[in-house]
Amino acid sequence: MRLRYSLTSDIQDVPNHVKQQLESYISKTKLDSKIYKIIDELHEKKINFAGLEQNILWLRQELLALDQLLIESAEILKACDKAEKGEIENTAPPPEAELEKPQDLRQEESEKDMINIQNSFAQLNNMAKTFKEMKDSNKEKYKA
């Protein structure tokens, strides 16, 4: 199954992404070695015509996939060229920009923070009481 997806990247990183896609495809399919294998099989004395036909059909399918990858790569690089020329507008927000949260969500988070702080103080208070009781208990033991 093939899936079309998009990703946001800094313009200077785009050529590297395209290069990685092409290299990944070529290393995965090894089209050139498949073509040479077909050519070598045509030199044999006894040719497996059905096998050659299957290899050629597989190669054609892979060439279609490569053609689609090249079309998409060209579209991406064309978009980069237009962006550098100022012909298209940058619609992606910078990655470090944090979106403004709605007021009610911020208030809800503040209330949760306050509850967490109160719970932490209550735990500290309980710990302090326990330590005091332990201290007082030890004083009673060693007093006598």
What's the rounded Cα separation, in Å, for the pair 82 and 88?
6
One domain for residues 78 and 130:
no
Do the beta carbons of residue 59 and residue 35 sit within 8 Å? yes
Which of 54, 84, 114 is at the close of a domain?
A: 84
What's the rounded Cα separation, in Å, for the pair 32 and 62?
11
What's the rounded Cα separation, in Å, for the pair 76 and 66?
15
What's the rounded Cα separation, in Å, for the pair 77 and 83?
10
Q: With both helix axes pointing from N to C terminus, report the angle between 31-42 and 49-84 in degrees, rounded to the nearest 10.
A: 150
End-to-end CA distance of the chain: 83
Per the structure, how many domains does the chain have?
2
Band (pLDDT 50/70/90 cuts) for residue 97 is: low
Residue 115 has pLDDT above 90, yes or no: no
Residue 108 included in any domain: yes
Band (pLDDT 50/70/90 cuts) for residue 138 is: confident
Residue 16 included in any domain: yes
One domain for residues 20 and 64:
yes
User: Stretch 75-83: mean pLDDT, rounded?
Assistant: 91
One domain for residues 125 and 73:
no
Give residue 44's domain range. Answer: 11-84
One domain for residues 18 and 72:
yes
Give the distance from CA 9 to its chain's centroid: 11
Residue 142 has pLDDT above 60, yes or no: yes
